[in-house]
Amino acid sequence: MSDLPSELMHFGSRLRRHGLPAGADKIRTLTSALALIDPLDPTQVRAASRSLICTEKKHIPIHDVVFDQYFGLTAMHQLAPSAHEVTVPTPEPSDESNESAEWDQVEDQAMALQAAASRLEILRTTDLGTGELAAQAVRLIDGLTFRAPRRSAHATRRSSIGRIDANQILKTLIRQEELSRLPRAARVEQDRDVTIIVDVSASMKQWLPALVRFLARATLCLKSRSFTVGTRLTRIDQHFAAPLNERELRQAQESIPDLAGGTRLGEGLLTLLNGGHREAIRGSVLVLISDGWEQGDCSELRTACARLGRLSHRFIWVNPRAGRVGFAPEVRGMRIAEEYAQVMLPATTVDGWQAVAENIASSRGRDVTRQDQDMTRTYPHVVGEHPDVARGKMTNG
């Protein structure tokens, strides 16, 4: 099956023709359920389909006949030509206990699917910095979806929509007297550069597994320039050029020279700005992941953030601590972030990291309105971006 949703829609249509309540909503739910099981295992797929579509015991034999014929599992059952008559095995009175046991098994499998979905939801909202489930939840970061931010290039292409192309009109009129249609042109779009800087100082130690996984996933999907900063600035995107297994992720983490050391965030950012990467930052989406705990008077951090805000198209500050209950941006680094970052996001959970990924892809940069800036500069923030924060229910720590 090259297109599973399409196949399931046709399967549902076949079921409806034989009197089963296989509505579009149930087929959509079945499609989502198959993401949690092995879609190539007929037993699991059959159980999921039964639990969602069969609302009465008499539906089960009909469902199984249609299922077997549609997916080519057996040639034993043949459907009658009538759209309303289906030949199904008629259970003997002595088979009532077997039928009851089969129905109980279907219900158990349906409950197992619901339990799996509930556990997945729990893991997606688990605090990644602490707790027994953190190690399991952090692996879900490998499934984050990224979309590269886009920008208009200087080149144009012919299009049926867009602005009128005056140059093409002149060229056409030189060759002929009349225009059959007005030529139009549209800007060519290309991916915008992304730069990610991760604070790996001692205060961020509890978040390191999540940070490394996010960095690996983002670097691979967005082809971003990736740096770590603690007591020095280190470029590490070369470690994430290909998908990594657990052992390779640990090796990449251990290769960071100043891991869980001191904090010289401002000095590291100035090194980046004064080095060869300044022009690469210009016009890019800049993501700085840090809790803002800086040593010293923070004057270098203020200078660096001011320059980053001017150079970048979009300056996003991500604080993993910000989603915890009772969090307030009291440290000086976070007060500086409020002043210069266009957007400030929490990333305490997997859902929080997904919100960060979606925000990177946003086309909104310096053209955000003043009202939007006021909404995104303070905690709780990100109205419309992170539902837990928007409701004022930030998860703690």
Written as six digits, the tokens of 119 are 């556990």
CA distance 182 to 30: 49
Helix, strand, or coil here: 382? Answer: coil
Q: How confident is the model at residue 345 (pLDDT cuts 50, 70, 90)?
A: very high
Could you read off the pLDDT of 282-309 as tens digits, one per residue? 999 999 999 998 877 889 999 999 999 9
* pLDDT reading at 273 higher than 80: yes
**What topology is assigned to 194-390 in CATH?**
Rossmann fold (3.40.50)
Q: What is the mean pLDDT of the chain?
A: 79
Burial level of 263, CB count in 10 A (0-12/13-18/19+)?
A: buried
Which of 129-143, 175-189, 377-391 has the highest mean predicted lDDT (pLDDT)?
129-143
What is the DSSP secondary-structure string of 24-83?
HHHHHHHHHHHTTS-TT-HHHHHHHHHHHH--STTHHHHHHHHHHHHTTS-SS----SSS
Residue ranges of domains in the chain: 4-77+91-124, 151-191, 194-390
CA distance 242 to 295: 35
pLDDT at position 361 is 92
pLDDT at position 68 is 87
Q: What angle do CA 77, 83, 84 make, to 5 degrees?
A: 90
The percentage of residues in the chain with a pLDDT greater than 70, rounded to a whole number, is 79
pLDDT at position 14 is 86
pLDDT at position 393 is 35
Other Cβ atoms less than 10 A from the Cβ of 36: the count is 16
Q: How confident is the model at residue 234 (pLDDT cuts 50, 70, 90)?
A: very high
Of 344, 260, 269, give the one whose Cα is nearest residue 299.
269
* Token pair 């069969």 in the structure block, residue: 54
Helix, strand, or coil here: 139? Answer: helix
Q: Which of 6-15, 114-123, 317-326, 339-348 has the lowest mean pLDDT?
A: 114-123
Helix, strand, or coil here: 154? Answer: strand
For the entire predicted model, the pTM comes to 0.61
Residues 6+ apart with CB under 8 A from 166: none
Residues 6+ apart with CB under 8 A from 325: 394, 395, 396, 397
Strands in the chain per DSSP E: 150-159, 163-164, 184-191, 194-199, 225-229, 233-235, 285-289, 314-319, 343-346
pLDDT at position 18 is 83
The percentage of residues in the chain with a pLDDT greater than 90, rounded to a whole number, is 32
List the beta bridge partners of residue 157.
186
